[in-house]
Chain A
């Protein structure tokens, strides 16, 4: 795992350095709408070729942040550099963007829609049409190439739009909530597509409110809540913020050995849960054996991104996140 992810103020972000060039670098982005603070000082550093997630509940400021990074709206203050340019529009041909609110012209044919999106990014229309057909074919939608968008299912239209985002072979792909509205099979296909893009060196940044997607795909994440970014860095570093959890099962419920358990221990029947002590598990094991606790099982589990999210963004934000995620999203 690259440690460069998430260069940001050391007070709240993982600030380990690496030599990889940055595809996106944002410092102190602030945006207000009619006096309401939507984004409050967002810092981000996304290395080239990385898969990077922006994680947060709805209304946290994810979309506004992405729009600022793309130059759709300008920040009230702060700076941004995308592929080295302060004005993202200067390199619009190198960027692919899938907005959260999907949109295509209903009367357009699928391959035409892809070509049109490519034309907006400078791809000649003829080439766009050719690539449109190829992309649809390669993704199992060749039969729908000549169908109008209005004749496609929502999921198919969404895939067409995604292909339109990629048709001009961008160096940076920005996806706003790309998994929403997709069934489990198509979510899996999208995950594979994102990985294959990164393997080719394309930087992929996507927003999501589903922790599982970010955990499976991302090298780095920015956790965003209430317009602020309490954490931006690698997924590993986020998980490392919380000590590993020890789960111990004993035959006896009580005895002098209990004094050896850390104060934060929670009991669940014959199970004892507590954070891994700084001194490690060996001194504890020794005390348990000497105190005849009767150890039945012991496991040490590394914290997941969800636990990290709870620790970083707070219980309320985590609850909001879970409420927004349908069961199949959290699979």
Chain B
């Protein structure tokens, strides 16, 4: 062949860098970034909404138990009292869990049990029916003291006239308080993740629509692979979000630092009192960034694919609305699933690509195991690759067309037959 020249094109990653650099700087110096910086204020609003659901979940699935370690006869009497009281009380009496039936002269170390943080036990009843002892965290003591007194009085047959005095012992932590706190960490993490992802996906979508409106997209499509355009846009937005996080981190850190010097926040906010996530803070942050990236890349890819098919902002809004609604439902699904660790609903939330990052972040808050995160990240990365591929493919086939859209007509059988005869692929009978 005459005129053959060596291959000469930008590698994918370099082409993606050209796009990413342009988008990154363009967004950073635009009004959009200002709105993005305001984004974290929205969690207060949505957090309040999600909190309602969270509380409901907490009540239905995270209800703590009262452990009991007494003599066998006392245990049976307390269980009978629980069975008697539970249906007649207006509020939800905590379930009782028998920790041990003590023999004569035996004692039970309730403090040690609670500090092991086993299960969902909020407090432990020991002693006797006449002189019950309650061991729990300070917050739970007040809440459980009345229940224990009522149960003991009922077990003794003296309720509602006299109630025994409940001796209380305070512990620093318990399985229930730990689980409760971690649940809150998981919920906060999920909400923040969801909001950031939705905000970013929306921004990447408007960025693409703007590009289509500017007719720049064809110049890009002619010069570099569409995968590079997609990757460049996605990663530019990721970079923007990290700048945003850094800005907020610096602002909040500085404010807290300045105020802390005067002791202004010490009563309100003490970082050492924050519940430690199951995997520990450093790994939780690391996984948070990873799941945020995966969740954003997945949703961003879908939004970009939608953007590629739409020609106007209105079309984009119409087409992206169902995805947004679906994503909100998936977020609530993942929130619900986190209260059922190990159950099929949690597995489903983890397996489904779009809810997986939320469900796994909740798991990182609740449990210490790391290997599920490795598996989940690989699984999510696979779906990110699939989403980008499909998105780029859709773009190439749907967008780069010229001329008017054809009028779709239903071809009648006789017309099809006539067409075949005309084209010479069939002969008239």
Q: Which residues of A contact B (CB under 8 A)?
A: 20-23, 33-36, 38, 48, 59, 63-64, 67, 70-73, 81, 83-85, 89-95, 97, 99-108, 116-117, 119-122, 171
Question: Closest approach, in angstroms, between the C-beta of A63 and any C-beta of chain B?
Answer: 4
Taken together as a complex, chains A and B put the C-alpha atoms of A99 and B30 apart, in Å, by 27
Are B3 and A83 touching (Cβ within 8 A)? yes
Are B403 and A21 touching (Cβ within 8 A)? no
Q: Which residues of chain B come closer than 8 Å to A104, judged between CB atoms?
A: 214, 216
Which residue of chain B lies nearest to A65 when distances are taken between CB atoms in the complex?
B402
Are B18 and A99 touching (Cβ within 8 A)? no
Give the number of chain B interface residues (Cβ < 8 Å). Answer: 36
Q: At the interface, yes or no: B404 with Cβ under 8 Å from chain A?
A: yes
Q: Which residues of chain B come closer than 8 Å to A117, judged between CB atoms?
A: 219, 223
Are A73 and B396 touching (Cβ within 8 A)? yes
Which residue of chain B lies nearest to A64 when distances are taken between CB atoms in the complex?
B402
Are B219 and A103 touching (Cβ within 8 A)? yes
Question: Closest approach, in angstroms, between the C-beta of A148 and any C-beta of chain B?
Answer: 12
Q: List, sorted by A's number, 11 A–B pairs whose CB atoms are closer than 8 Å.
A: A22-B2, A59-B404, A73-B400, A83-B4, A84-B4, A90-B8, A92-B224, A97-B223, A103-B215, A103-B219, A120-B219
Q: Which residues of chain A come closer than 8 Å to B405, judged between CB atoms?
A: 34
Are A171 and B9 touching (Cβ within 8 A)? no
**What 7 A-B pairs come out closest when comparing CB atoms?**
A103-B215, A84-B4, A21-B2, A21-B3, A36-B406, A120-B223, A103-B216
CB < 8 Å: which of B2, B8, B401, B404 contacts A94? B8
Are B219 and A99 touching (Cβ within 8 A)? yes
Q: Which residues of chain A come closer than 8 Å to B223, judged between CB atoms?
A: 92, 97, 117, 120-121
Q: At the interface, yes or no: B221 with Cβ under 8 Å from chain A?
A: yes
Are A33 and B406 touching (Cβ within 8 A)? yes
Question: Closest approach, in angstroms, between the C-beta of A40 and any C-beta of chain B?
Answer: 12
Q: Which residues of chain B come closer than 8 Å to A171, judged between CB atoms?
A: 5
Question: Closest approach, in angstroms, between the C-beta of B403 and any C-beta of chain A?
Answer: 5
Q: Which residues of chain B come closer than 8 Å to A116, judged between CB atoms?
A: 18, 22
Interface hits, B388-410 → A, CB 8 Å: 396, 400-406, 408
Are A99 and B218 touching (Cβ within 8 A)? yes
Q: At the interface, yes or no: B188 with Cβ under 8 Å from chain A?
A: no
Q: Which residues of chain A come closer than 8 Å to B9, judged between CB atoms?
A: 89-93, 122
Are A84 and B218 touching (Cβ within 8 A)? no
Taken together as a complex, chains A and B put the C-alpha atoms of A116 and B9 apart, in Å, by 15
Which residue of chain B lies nearest to A49 when distances are taken between CB atoms in the complex?
B3
Q: Which residues of chain A come closer than 8 Å to B26, judged between CB atoms?
A: 105, 107-108
Are A120 and B224 touching (Cβ within 8 A)? yes
Are A101 and B403 touching (Cβ within 8 A)? no
Taken together as a complex, chains A and B put the C-alpha atoms of A33 and B406 apart, in Å, by 8
Interface hits, B287-327 → A, CB 8 Å: none
Taken together as a complex, chains A and B put the C-alpha atoms of A94 and B223 apart, in Å, by 10
Are B222 and A99 touching (Cβ within 8 A)? yes
Q: At the interface, yes or no: B193 with Cβ under 8 Å from chain A?
A: no
Which residue of chain A lies nearest to B408 when distances are taken between CB atoms in the complex?
A34
Question: Closest approach, in angstroms, between the C-beta of A121 and any C-beta of chain B?
Answer: 6
Which residue of chain B lies nearest to A203 when distances are taken between CB atoms in the complex?
B3
